[in-house]
Structure formats: C-alpha cells, structure tokens
C-alpha cells in the first residue's frame, strides 16, 4: 500500500479555553500541492505546528510518511518555512546555509541551491543586515537544503515584491514537477490559484471544504464584464442577466452568467462605452462568501 505523505485522524488542539483545531481528518498523497487557507485564526499555523512536531496535539494524531511528526526519520524528509523564524543574527548567509545543510544526510548541492534561491550576491552578509525580502530568501533556501520530500510553507511570500513572488512560484512549480509534496498557507488567492492542485479551507478549526482548486473555482460560474460606461446603476440593473455591479474608479464590473446577451444589450444602451473586457470569474469570486470573517472564533 502507498504510504500517504500526511495522515491526520481526529487531530485536535486547545489552548486553554480556545479550541483552535477541532478534530481534523485528512489524507494528503505524495506529490500533491495543497493550499491550506482560511481567515485569520482559523487554525492553519496550529495545524502546521502539529505536523512539524513543534506542538503536541491535545487529542488525535498525525503521521508524516508513516512516522510520528518530529522524529528523526521525519525531520530528514521535511523542510519548512514558517511565519516567524529566528535564525542566529550574526551568522553570514553562507554559514547559515552550510550549518543547516549539515543536519541532513542527503543535502542539496549547495552551489545549485544558492543559484536557485539567488543568494550569490549576499552570501557574505550577516543575516541581521539583510532586508526582509532577502531574509525570506535565506529562509526558503534553508527549507530546501535537505531536498525535502514534503515542504511546508506558511505564508512564504508575505512582504515580497511581485517579481520575487513570481520567481518563487516558478521554483515551487518546478519542485512540484519533481514530485515534492507541498503544503502552502497563503492569504494571496492569486498565488493559490496559480500553484495548488487541491484546496483545503479551514474555518474556526474545522475543514469546511476540500476539493480540487479547479473545482472550487468552477463554483463561481459567472463572467465579469468590465467597462467605462455612463449608464447609471438603475439602467444597468434593468439589463436582463445582470447579477451584480461593482465600481472601481471609472470602471464598472458586471457579473453575469449570460455574457453574450448582457454585452449586446450594454452596447445597444451605451454605444460610447470604452475599456471593455470580459473575463472568467476568479478563485477570489468563488471564495468570497466562504472566506468572509466570522464574528466569533
């Protein structure tokens, strides 16, 4: 039988009165790219901490590649980039990478790792002297330095500029192609849409959705028509098929499932409209209700 990458059975964690994770059952197969999402406080970081053996469950259990989290066979096979990472501030980048690589039996070839994570120019700089984005790159290199079979990434691209994020996405896609199992938490839905195969949504410590990302995206069936028009909301709402109208600056966006009829009517009612574009709904559209914050945690 194929051992799953991750198996959770009734995994639960309370902090005093706060029931942060409420008995999760989950199986992740090897090679899957999972996005774990949810509002602030949904229990994502707590779940990751238990998976990595940094925290003991209050009840239930987790296995990683068939072993208990935190044990040596697991530590050799996982890599992690957490939200808060403390590294020795006075060590230089190359010293940090060498130090962490030395913990692994099968480390990544360091020259290739440095090239991949673009650390060449800052190898001799002390960690404390790096910018936030550069520190994230070092943390990523450390997560990769044992050639992990499973990679845990907790909001890895927070604070990175768009170019760096895209380079990061490319590396993650390549890792996925080479068979690495990846568990990503992120609040950036474009990142999740671009990368993940499967989406798991946590809400108040429970899994409320678990499906292929493409299937969840399909749940928002509508198209968005964006244009600059002089028609007011009353006239727009009167067009058959218009479901919702939103405004952003001079642009109006109309959500509809009947884009051909709505477009024809729109152009008839306002032949002078400009900046017209039509696009399929996004993951954000599909998740807009699901991810709305709850008032109580």
The contact set with ligand ATP (CB under 6 A) reads 15, 18, 20, 38, 40-46, 297
In angstroms, what is the minimal distance from the CB of 154 to ligand ATP?
A: 7
249 torsion bin: left (phi>0), alpha (psi -120 to 50), beta (else): left
Candidates 64, 75, 43, 24; CA nearest to 205 is 43
Question: In the chain, which residue ranges form alpha helices assigned H by DSSP?
Answer: 44-51, 72-75, 93-101, 110-116, 132-144, 162-177, 189-195, 213-218, 233-237, 259-269, 283-287
In angstroms, what is the minimal distance from the CB of 276 to ligand ATP?
A: 37
In angstroms, what is the minimal distance from the CB of 140 to ligand ATP?
A: 18
Helix, strand or coil for residue 170?
A: helix
In angstroms, what is the minimal distance from the CB of 60 to ligand ATP?
A: 15
User: Judged by CB, which is closer to ligand ATP: 13, or 75?
Assistant: 13
Cα distance between residue 258 and residue 199, in whole Å: 28
In angstroms, what is the minimal distance from the CB of 202 to ligand ATP?
A: 6
Candidates 63, 39, 38; CA nearest to 50 is 63
| Residue with tokens 């984005």, as numbered in its chain | 133
Whether 180 and 149 have beta carbons less than 8 Å apart is answered as yes
């Amino acid at each position: 039988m194929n051992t799953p990458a991750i198996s959770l059975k009734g995994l639960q964690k309370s902090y005093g009165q706060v029931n942060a994770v409420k008995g999760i059952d989950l199986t992740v197969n090897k090679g899957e790219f999972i996005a774990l999402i949810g509002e602030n406080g949904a229990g994502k970081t707590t779940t990751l901490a238990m998976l990595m053996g940094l925290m003991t469950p209050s009840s239930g259990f987790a296995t990683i590649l068939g072993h208990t989290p935190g044990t040596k066979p697991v530590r050799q096979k996982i890599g992690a980039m957490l939200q808060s990472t403390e590294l020795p501030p006075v060590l230089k980048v190359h010293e940090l990478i060498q130090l962490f690589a030395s913990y692994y039996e099968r480390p990544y070839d360091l020259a290739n790792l440095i090239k991949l994570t673009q650390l060449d120019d800052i190898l001799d700089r002390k960690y404390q002297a790096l910018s936030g984005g550069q520190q994230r790159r070092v943390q990523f290199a450390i997560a990769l330095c044992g050639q992990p079979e499973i990679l845990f990434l907790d909001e890895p691209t927070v604070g990175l500029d768009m170019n760096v994020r895209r380079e990061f996405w490319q590396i993650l896609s390549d890792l996925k192609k080479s068979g690495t199992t990846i568990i990503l938490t992120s609040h950036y839905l474009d990142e999740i849409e671009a990368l993940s195969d499967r989406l798991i949504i946590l809400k108040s410590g429970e899994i409320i959705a678990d499906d292929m990302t493409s299937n969840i995206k399909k749940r928002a069936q509508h198209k968005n028509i964006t244009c600059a028009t002089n028609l007011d909301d009353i006239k727009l709402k009167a067009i058959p098929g218009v479901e919702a109208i939103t405004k952003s600056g001079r642009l109006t966006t109309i959500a509809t499932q009947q884009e051909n009829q709505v477009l024809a009517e729109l152009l008839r009612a306002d032949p002078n409209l400009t900046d017209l574009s039509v696009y399929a709904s996004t993951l954000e559209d599909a998740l807009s209700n699901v991810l709305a914050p709850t008032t109580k945690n």
